[in-house]
Amino acid sequence: MSTILDDPSPQIAARVAAERERHGWSLADLAERSGVSKAMLSKIERQETSPTAVILLRIATAFGLTLAGLLETPTRTAARLLRAQDQPRWKDPATGYVRRQIFQSADNPLELVEVHLPAGARVALPAASYAFIRQVVWLMSGSLHIHEGSETCALSAGDRLEFGAPADVEFHNPGAKPCRYLVALVRQ
């Protein structure tokens, strides 16, 4: 099973270090490009902390990757069939949201991600994380408020929202139960 729910530190540390080395960047270079402190980056690479989704997105964006591209490198030899239990999962330590990478391929710009967002949880993402992608969110269950720039959309089960130009975004589950949504994104 490909999951990093329980202890993501080794896999994330290895990916951040590998990407940094591939780019020929020092920790200071990555800190400057990502807006994540050099101390935090060092802790991530030494497996002393489990970074949040926001921190990982800033790092991924600095490398020109999506979050999925940072968490797990897409391969050209991926199986056409990937059973549910083998789809990578990651849990955000700050909010408890769980993301399952349904589809990712080096040969296809489409990515599909299922997210379970706990009741009351909020995840704020910087505009920079949308610089290399186009995205649509489809709410499968629960309720979800998406604050995109100065606009707020309240979604109910079955609703979908296509994102506009890159803007700061906040996902908020105002309900008393977890919500579940699908993110379809295309890497540009």
Sites in the chain below the pLDDT cut of 70: 1-9, 73-78
Task: Please report whether residue 79 resides in a domain.
Answer: no
Check whether residue 96 and residue 158 sit in a common domain: yes
Per-residue pLDDT at 184: 97
Contact 75, 153 (CB under 8 A): no
**pLDDT tens by residue, 94-131:** 899 999 999 988 888 999 999 999 999 999 998 988 88
- Answering whether pTM is above 0.95, one says no
Check whether residue 106 and residue 165 sit in a common domain: yes
Q: Which domain holds residue 48?
A: 9-71
Query: Cα–Cα distance between 62 and 129 in angstroms, integer?
Result: 9
Task: Please report whether residue 167 resides in a domain.
Answer: yes
Per-residue pLDDT at 186: 94
Contact 80, 152 (CB under 8 A): no
CATH number for 29? 1.10.260.40
Task: Please report whether residue 76 resides in a domain.
Answer: no
Check whether residue 121 and residue 43 sit in a common domain: no
Q: For the chain, what is the domain count? A: 2
